Amino acid sequence: MRNEAGAPVADQDTINVESEPQQDRLLVRTPFQILMAGDVAVPICFARTQIGGPGPKANDIELTDLDNRQASLAYQAGKLLFTNHAHGPNCSLNGVPCNYGELRDRDELQLGTHRLRVRDTSQYPASLESYPEGGRSWVLAAEDSPVGRGGKRVNRIEIDDATVSRVQATFTFREGQFALLAETSSSPTRVNGAKLEEGQSQRLLDGDLVQLGKVMLRFRQAPAAQEKRELLPQEATILFSDIWNYSSLAENRPLEDTISQMNEFYRGMGKVIEAHNGVLMTFLGDAMMAVFGSAGQDPAAPSQAVRCAQAMQRRLLEINQDWSQRGLPTMRIGVGINTGEVMVGHVGFTGRYEFAAMGDNTNLAARLEKLTRQHDAAIIISGSTQVALESGFVTRSLGTTQVKGRQAEVHLFQVLDA
């Protein structure tokens, strides 16, 4: 092993990565990106982002021909502010000499020979990001956006890849919905692995995987603006589902094939949850979490959650039949459900919030799902959910068990008519 100067160092030597003050290295969630040459997007994810050239101090954005610490970007109270610290290269904002100011969407910051563009993703209804990674991203406005390699027409999104046609496709926007329209047969256009024929259109949902030639892109729908709800305790029913055989499903397969199949699964399960008045909270790898009764006290919430779990198992049977006919591997899922008091409301920081249901009863629902494998049971509910169920459900007691993190034993019930 050698140090930065190229000299050998002992194995026990440790490089101190916290030699500089850390007060400005606070990670924050912001909607801002800095666009570099080639549409490379650098997300702003620190309270202070350093810009400069090579030298003794590390920079978040390193550009040649600049002072070592040329400028910095500060994210404060939802605003992105810049400061030019050096007197060498010329600095201007939108063509006007400036050493300090607020940066907004589409602003151009000139540092010496480098032109940096500001993107505020919160100003756009959707975006595309290179997949699985690569630093490139594009925003989609509420208008049609042609995409291609360029040359035969003016493409709003240009992708310099030989496998992409010069007139490849168009991202359309109609009545608040995005779709992808294929415009060529010479280069493949796919959504979640399904090929679109020339002239065929496919509606896009958040997280869909788009393939143009050999270029993979992830479609991201901006969340609808909603009023922040204070985090307060209330009774609700939490549902967790997880795929039993995910490892074997993903093993020795191209990543895009697995992602495509998972998107089909999530889309099918998401519709079932919505149909049963559930709120899909999050995807956790191959797991899903939903809450029932989040709007307030609802005696029907436990029954709605169990009916949803039953419908999810039935829908999965249909999906598995389709996959079998297409030569794809099938899945099994387990569902755990628990009813109790949780903290429901919006959590987050820097003006970005997510709806959440947190607490010990949420954790218990997740642990019940883990027990479905042990009992070979498709659906396991807690005693608190069992006593709150309406008539008409068939369940079987699995006894009590000690659950990690709880002193009192938990009574388990298997739902039999799934």
Tens digit of pLDDT for each residue in 295-309? 777 889 999 999 999
- Range with lowest mean pLDDT among 125-129, 340-344, 373-377: 340-344
State how far the Cα of 414 lies from the Cα of 312, in Å rounded to an integer.
Answer: 16
pLDDT score, position 356: 64
Tally the C-alpha atoms within 13 A of residue 29's C-alpha that lie toward its C-beta: 9
Q: Would you say how long the chain is, in residues? A: 418
48-52 and 61-62: which strand pairing? parallel
Q: Do domains 32-121 and 124-221 have the same CATH topology?
A: yes
Each residue's pLDDT tens digit, 17-33: 444 444 445 667 688 88
Is residue 253 over pLDDT 60?
yes
State how far the Cα of 413 lies from the Cα of 416, in Å rounded to an integer.
Answer: 9
- Tell me the average pLDDT across 258-286: 81
pLDDT score, position 317: 94
Each residue's pLDDT tens digit, 385-408: 999 998 889 999 999 888 776 777
- Which string of b and e fits 207-220 if b means at least 16 CB within 10 Å? bbbbbbbebbbbbb
Say if CB 353 and CB 257 are below 8 A apart: no
Each residue's pLDDT tens digit, 176-210: 889 999 999 999 999 887 889 999 999 998 778 89
pLDDT score, position 23: 44
| Residue 263: its H or E element | helix 255-275
pLDDT score, position 26: 66
- CATH classification (class only), 232-415: alpha beta
Q: Given pLDDT bands bounded at 50, 70 and 90, which one contains residue 109?
A: very high
Q: Given pLDDT bands bounded at 50, 70 and 90, which one contains residue 12?
A: very low
Nearest partner of 288 among 173, 224, 207, 233, judged by Cα:
207
pLDDT score, position 184: 93
* Residues contacting 338, CB < 8 A, separation 6+: 237, 238, 361, 362, 364, 365, 368, 381, 382, 384, 385
pLDDT score, position 141: 86
pLDDT score, position 346: 60
% of the chain exceeding 90 in pLDDT:
33
Question: Which is more confident, 200 or 249?
Answer: 200
Nearest partner of 290 among 358, 238, 355, 342, judged by Cα:
238
Q: Given pLDDT bands bounded at 50, 70 and 90, which one contains residue 214?
A: confident
Helix axes 301-325, 255-275, angle to 10 degrees: 140
pLDDT score, position 218: 84
Is residue 118 over pLDDT 90?
yes
- Tell me the average pLDDT across 74-79: 87
Nearest partner of 206 among 128, 296, 153, 107, judged by Cα:
128
pLDDT score, position 223: 60
Question: Which is more confident, 79 or 134?
Answer: 79
Q: Given pLDDT bands bounded at 50, 70 and 90, which one contains residue 170?
A: very high
Say if CB 238 and CB 356 are below 8 A apart: no
Question: Which is more confident, 88 or 222?
Answer: 222
Q: Given pLDDT bands bounded at 50, 70 and 90, which one contains residue 40?
A: confident
Is residue 225 over pLDDT 50?
no
3-state helix, strand, coil in the chain (%, to 5): 20, 40, 40
Is residue 414 over pLDDT 50?
yes
| 302 three-class SS | helix
- Tell me the average pLDDT across 316-326: 93
Is residue 231 over pLDDT 80?
no
Please provide the average confidence, as pLDDT, over all residues in the chain. 82
User: What SS3 string covers 115-134?
Assistant: EEEEEEHHHCCEEEEECCCC
State how far the Cα of 338 lies from the Cα of 413, in Å rounded to an integer.
Answer: 11
Is residue 262 over pLDDT 60?
yes
% of the chain exceeding 70 in pLDDT:
85
State how far the Cα of 33 lies from the Cα of 305, in Å rounded to an integer.
Answer: 40
Is residue 371 over pLDDT 70?
yes
For domain 32-121, the question of CATH label 3.50.50.60 is answered with no
Residue 359 CA, distance from chain mean position: 22
State the alpha helices, DSSP H only, in 169-254.
246-250
pLDDT score, position 5: 44
pLDDT score, position 81: 93
Where are the chain's structural domains?
Answer: 32-121, 124-221, 232-415
State how far the Cα of 194 lies from the Cα of 199, in Å rounded to an integer.
Answer: 14
Is residue 6 over pLDDT 50?
no
- Tell me the average pLDDT across 43-54: 86
Residue ranges with strand state E in 183-328: 189-191, 194-195, 201-203, 209-212, 215-221, 232-243, 278-284, 287-292
Q: Could you say which of 2.140.10.10, 3.20.20.70, 3.30.590.10, 2.60.200.20 is the CATH number of the domain covering 124-221? A: 2.60.200.20
